[in-house]
Amino acid sequence: MPRIALGLEYDGSDFAGWQSQAHARGIQAVVEEGLSVVADHPVEVVAAGRTDAGVHAAMQVVHFDTTATRTERSWMLGAVSNMPKEVSVLWAREVPEGFHARYSALARRYRYVILNRVARPALNAERVAWIREPLDEKRMHEAAQHLVGEHDFSSFRAAQCQSRTPMRNLHEISVTRHGELVVLTVCANAFLHHMVRNIAGVLIAIGTGERPVDWSAEVLAHRDRKLGGVTAVPGGLYLAGIRYAPALNLPSEPEFTVLAPVPATCRPVPDQV
Q: Which residues are catalytic?
A: 52
Question: 65: which strand partners?
Answer: 3
- Give which of 184, 185, 181, 155 is closest to 167, Cα–Cα: 155
Residue 135 burial by CB count (10 A; 0-12/13-18/19+): exposed, middle or buried?
A: buried
| Dist. CA 70–CA 93, nearest whole Å | 11
CB 146 within 8 A of CB 217: yes
Q: Helix 195-207 vs helix 215-222: angle between axes, to the nearest 10 degrees?
A: 150
CB 205 within 8 A of CB 133: no
- Give which of 66, 46, 50, 14 is closest to 78, Cα–Cα: 66
- Identity (one letter) of the amino acid at 90? L
Question: Degrees (nearest 5) of the Cα angle 150, 156, 160?
Answer: 115
Question: 186: which strand partners?
Answer: 110, 173
- Give which of 251, 143, 160 is closest to 200, Cα–Cα: 143
- Give which of 30, 49, 41 is closest to 1, Cα–Cα: 41
